[in-house]
Amino acid sequence: MKRLCIALSAAAGLFAALPASAQFQKPEDAIKYRKAAFTVMANHFGRVGAMASGKVPFDAKVAAENTELLTHLSTLPAAGFIAGTDKGETRAKPEIWSEADKFKAGMAKMGEEMGKLNAAAKTGDLAQLKTAFGAAAQTCKACHDNYRKE
């Protein structure tokens, strides 16, 4: 019984620490979380981009593995933009919060385009991948232009 209690409280502690619940101990933790999520996204997006631009040979399987990951990764950063995280080690502009609906719509659009990129990658057709990659990159850039400081 005692062992079970220890196991259960350990599991509860683990859940409390998981940022996926969109709960953060401190504003800095939310900032770190979203930056980390963007870093991982950029890495996988970059691998697909290298194929789209011909910098590395196109490998349909590798492309699709990365785009599949991106459909999930792209859902992560939004949770980190909680109130009070416009200050500190961040390039986030205050407009993220003053135009919250527009910002959320931009994030949602990016997620949609990641879904289309994944569908394109799964066709195995490089031309489709290139088109979808361009559209997805455009949604990244739109938010950077509007909501990220230099």
Q: Which residues contact ligand ASC (rule: CB under 6 A)?
A: 42, 45-46, 49, 137, 140-141
42 vs 56 by CB, closer to ligand ASC: 42
24 vs 133 by CB, closer to ligand ASC: 133
Per-residue tokens: 32: 């770190």
Cα–Cα distance measured from residue 52 to residue 44, given in angstroms and rounded to the nearest whole number: 13
16 vs 42 by CB, closer to ligand ASC: 42
66: which residues sit within 8 A by CB, 6+ positions away? 44, 45, 47, 48, 121
Q: Which residues sit opposite 148 in a β-bridge?
A: 92
For the bound state, the minimum distance from the C-beta of residue 44 to ligand ASC, rounded and expressed in Å, comes to 9
For the bound state, the minimum distance from the C-beta of residue 35 to ligand ASC, rounded and expressed in Å, comes to 12
